[in-house]
Amino acid sequence: MYEKILLAVDGSENSIRATEEVIKICQASTHPVQLEITHVIQDVSNSEIVLQQVKPDNRNRDGELRIQPNEAELQNANIPYTRTIERGDAGKTIANKANNDTFDLVVIGTRGLNGLQKLVVGSVSTEVIKRANCPVLVVK
- Report the chain's C-alpha Rg in angstroms: 15
| 32 within 8 A of 15, measured Cβ to Cβ | no
Predicted structure pTM score: 0.85
Over the stretch 36-75, which tens digit does the pLDDT of each residue have?
999 999 876 544 444 555 555 555 566 778 899 999 999 9
What percentage of residues in the chain have a pLDDT greater than 70? 78
Q: What burial class does residue 98 get, using C-beta atoms within 10 Å of its C-beta: 0-12 exposed, 13-18 middle, 19+ buried?
A: buried
DSSP string, 80-127: --EEEEEES-HHHHHHHHHHHTT-SEEEEE-----HHHHHHH--HHHH
Q: Which residues of the chain have pLDDT under 50?
A: 46-50, 120-121
Over the stretch 46-57, which tens digit does the pLDDT of each residue have?
444 445 555 555
Per-residue pLDDT, 48: 47
> What are the chain's domains?
4-139 (3.40.50.620)
- The distance of Cα 112 from the centroid of its chain, to the nearest Å, equals 15
Q: Please, what is the average pLDDT of the chain?
A: 85
Query: Which amino acid type is present at position 98?
Result: A
What percentage of residues in the chain have a pLDDT greater than 90? 66
